[in-house]
Amino acid sequence: MTDGPHEPRTFRRSRSRDVGDAVIGVLVRLGLVPDTFLLTTRGRRSAAPRTNPATLVTLGGRRWLVAPYGVVSWVHNVRADPRVLLRRGFSRHVFVARAASAQEAGPVLRQYVRRSRPTRPYFAATVDSPVEVFVAEADRHPVFELVPYDTGR
């Protein structure tokens, strides 16, 4: 299920997905979508900010950002510039994103599937699956640990 020998499967964006992101963005600004924030990253080719809805999972007192669709544009942007801005309502938080290993990502992905009630057809694992199944899927669903950004003040 990969595009190449080492490439994770990618999620192809569509017009309906863009419209859906815009609708979710409005709902997030109003604070109506649980565990979802507006993620702002810098583009790879230009410094223009890019905004996407993103799910934040808290596990073990640490914050994790999940890319359930695979390697999407904001994942590339986070890898290029690890500083991200999360917004929800009137709150704004700047973080530094660090890519998680498969062992770290497994429990986070399990928690993500547990929290996101809708069916997730892109996950082979279910809520009742052992953590090892999620560890095996971690290469297709990148996870980043978010650490508060120190502005040096």
Total domain count, the chain: 1
| Cα gap 142→99, rounded to integer Å | 7
Judge if pTM exceeds 0.85: no
CATH number, residue 117: 2.30.110.10
Q: Is 21 contained in some domain?
A: no
**Domain assignment present for 39:** yes
Domain-embedded: residue 3: no
Residue 93 lies in a domain: yes
Q: Look at residue 11 and tell me if it is in a domain.
A: no
Residues 6+ apart with CB under 8 A from 105: 134, 135, 138, 141, 142, 143
Residue 52, CA atoms < 13 Å, CB-side half-sphere: 23
C-alpha–C-alpha distance, residues 52 and 103, integer Å: 26
Domain coverage including residue 39: 34-148
* Closest-CA residue to 71 (of 143, 9, 144, 16): 9
- pLDDT for 130-148, tens place per residue? 999 999 988 888 999 999 8
In a domain, 2, yes or no: no
Distances (CA, A) of 141 to 19, 65, 87, 150: 22, 10, 22, 27
**Domain assignment of residue 24, yes or no:** no
Q: Would you say residue 9 lies in a domain?
A: no
Q: What is the pLDDT of residues 59-106, one digit of tens each?
A: 888 999 888 877 777 888 888 888 888 887 778 889 999 999 999 999
Pairing of strands 83-88, 36-42: antiparallel
